[in-house]
Amino acid sequence: MTANVLSIAGSDPSGGAGIQADLKTFAALGTYGMAAITALTAQNTRGVSGVHAVPPAFVAEQVDMLFADIRVDAVKVGMLGGAAVVAAVADRLRRHRPESVVVDPVMVAKSGDRLLDEAAVETLRGQLLPLATIVTPNLPEAGVLLDRAAPADPEAMRRAAIDLHAIGPRYVLLKGGHLAGICSDDLLFDGSAFLDLPARRVSTKNTHGTGCTLSAALAALLPQSPDVPQAARAAKSYITAAIAASDRLTVGQGYGPIHHFHAVWHGGARL
């Protein structure tokens, strides 16, 4: 049975991140994708020029309509923007109780533009993270969530994962891409055991939407996997290959997108 996966996130008109990246990822990994839009953005591969927030009540209405009609096997939560939307999404997740919830605490775009206001961080900590099956911060986001400096080495990553887990998610997947070196290793923690998710760093500037894509991959793979560690390994493999194939695309002049369909596209369509 094909899994139905919902993304609750913002829109990226350039197609590399946000809802657009999530739907591509869901399709590439064999699931049926759905979307509840939290914000419209004006952006491209070089930056974000504007954000238009969707009213919290309408975000909640989108979610309610989907759960009223469609079996939802997993939910990915991405860009929320403000405290009221965070609270509305948390309320709906408590009401509908999906089996798997992946929370990507989107705070800053690849270009450096802020996507989550400071007032929302406490609401995210207090209301949304305790509902998460797995939370997927990068190192700067981990620093913001823990109100301290971002982890700067593998040992600090382990301490941060322990402290993030104490907030309430079942699993923490801490992304290590901001560390220096030839590796881009992530770390999964379930409250008692660590699982290293190693990968060699890919030399490319085409990394727009990597965080969105990894969390979407987890949401797509959790209903298809026997456990969270296997889903995390598969998601890490997918995102690494998508980054490695990104240079096949020619999109934009800034941080280009990764190749969501790297394993699907084999040349152009023949009409």
- Is 212 considered catalytic here? yes
Which tokens in the block code for residue 134? 């797995």
- Asked whether the beta carbons of 8 and 106 are under 8 A apart, the reply is no
Sheet holding 194-197, edge to edge: 47-53, 32-44, 4-11, 74-77, 101-103, 134-135, 171-174, 186-189, 194-197
The yes-or-no answer on residue 240 being catalytic is: no
Q: Are 14 and 43 in contact (CB under 8 A)?
A: yes
Q: Which of 249, 234, 170 is nearest to 31 (CA)?
A: 234
Catalytic residue among 45, 209, 213, 240: 209
Of these residues, 133, 210, 213, 240, which one is catalytic? Answer: 210
Catalytic residue among 24, 76, 110, 175: 175
**Set 207, 213, 240, 256: catalytic member:** 207
Active-site annotation holder among 18, 211, 236, 240: 211
Question: What gap in Å lies between CA 60 and CA 58, rounded to an integer?
Answer: 5
The verdict on whether 210 is a catalytic residue reads yes
- Whether residue 110 lies in the annotated active site: no
Strand partners, 196: 187
269: left (phi over 0), alpha (psi -120 to 50) or beta: beta
Q: Give the C-alpha separation, 24 to 30, whole Å.
A: 10
Question: Is residue 199 within 8 Å of 121, Cβ to Cβ?
Answer: no
CA distances from 211 to 109, 137, 217 (A): 10, 8, 10
| Bridge partners for 102 per DSSP | 76, 134
Residue of 78, 212, 236, 256 with catalytic role: 212
List, by residue number, the catalytic residues: 175, 207, 209-212
